[in-house]
Structure 1
Amino acid sequence: MSWLDRVRKKIPFIAKREGPDNLWYKCPACAQMIFMKEYEENLSVCPKCGHHGRIGPDARFDQLFDGGVYTPLPTPQVREDPLKFRDTKRYTDRIKAARTNTGEQDALINARGTIEGFKAVVGVQDFAFMGGSMGLAVGAAFVAGAMAAIEDKCPYIIFTAAGGARMQEGILSLMQMPRTTVAIAKLREAGLPYIVVMTDPTTGGVTASYAMLGDVQLAEPGALIGFAGQRVIETTIREKLPEGFQRAEYLLDHGMLDMVVERRNLRGELARLIDYLCPGKKAA
């Protein structure tokens, strides 16, 4: 035995203390390590660079509705796996895994509540649920949200976050594009506003339908918004796209958005829009 081994054996080592795995958050934009509590208190926005992280329906509703008080709408029941689809996994298994991971029934959740005293029905797409993909359940939830807004005589506000249509449902997923468009037309017939807030990312068939049909189009800073991916476009047109192409700020500069609003200001901005579009509609 060497002298080094003898010394090592005489040194009392203290067992490594276990700590929680979620104590720190690494910002994907600036790579800074942020104390998780600080990150959450800042509405899941990086305090160093302002990167807006992706959040789910529960966090969004808590931030948006007065006092974090809201009533979730029942999730519409639809036929699951209508095509009996299977790739590397069965579609039903993918749905079960997504439900286990998110605690939600599908990718779009609606809730009723008030925003600075104004009644509103708000729908939130959860990118964590199979990339927020649009299928039968998302289409049914969107229609249910729009009908609830008509019933309550209040605006329907949708927060989009999606990779597009759900390939496991084939043509049935694409049929949700005209279906949601009809629901938006019914809102307009009732004289009620339809407000879209695009979050990161909003792409594919969602962008090609209800994400771009709002009476007012908002987006969070830095949100990726587009139909096809940048590499696909560059390959097709054989040109290099401009810096920041398909980001919210670029789209604002080119007339596709009305506003880019930071998350901390979003609640107040939505209340201002509702007040302007539905004057005298404050809840009693």
Structure 2
Amino acid sequence: MLARYVEIGLAVREAFRKPELRDAFIGRLKPHRRLIAGCVPAGIQQHGMLPERAPAHGLAEISDADLAQWLVDDGRLIYGEFTQQELDNYFEAIAPWLPLHGHFIDLGSGLGKVVLSAALALPGMRCTGVELLGYRNDMAQVRLAQMLAAGVADDPAAAARVAARVRLLHQDMFATDVSDASMVYIYSTCFAPMMDRLAEKLASELPEGALVTTVTFPMQHPAFELVKQFAPPSVAWTTVFLYRRRSALDAAAPPAASFLYEQDSAAWEYAVRAAFAAYDSSLGT
């Protein structure tokens, strides 16, 4: 997947950087702007992971279907997390609804901060993190080992109990079995293009009464009832949503619908052209 991501990304980045290709860049990406977190895909920006080499293919050779999938994949590769204070706020805020025992799953667990914090804050919960990128999962494993080593020095038995409750999986969240989850956490600020698909997965797999947290974007699916909405900055810099899986679908509830976060066409193009100008300015041109 990553090899194909790189090849398409290089073509997209070339069209962004070269003035003679920029109208084509706008024309190709505008129909898919709802799939972009921001105005310009994160992967082609300075902090992106693409290597500095010429593309093997031009943007014109990339199909619309492949381009759309690339934009979705690009959003999945963005890393974001709560600060430690926001995490403390979060666990305190959701405490009234959490069961004493169960399974806490973080889909898109990154460097493991939420999973490790959950393992300490929720002593009755098994805690699982699921991360697509191997290097992030490896870093999370190192953090877990460091946390456990510090705990062993103070209380070996307590550290062993924590270790028995934590799993860090290198896996695609859509391939992960969540059927025994009591609580699913998703830092979904960059997951707008995937919210419908995530909601369908969780609706089909989660047991009755299971809780789900999303960030920034709500879940528009009749299988879930909104339990609480935490407006910023009460918990975090952005809105936090807490849902519960219904026991049955309400007959009066509307069917699940596509929930698109599409930017206004003219505003998006204006922002992209401003990004072109900023890039040129950074080069002194």
TM-score w.r.t. the length of structure 1 is: 0.30
Rg larger for: 1
Write 1 or 2 for the structure with the bigger share of helix. Answer: 2
- What TM-score do you get using the length of structure 2 for normalisation? 0.29
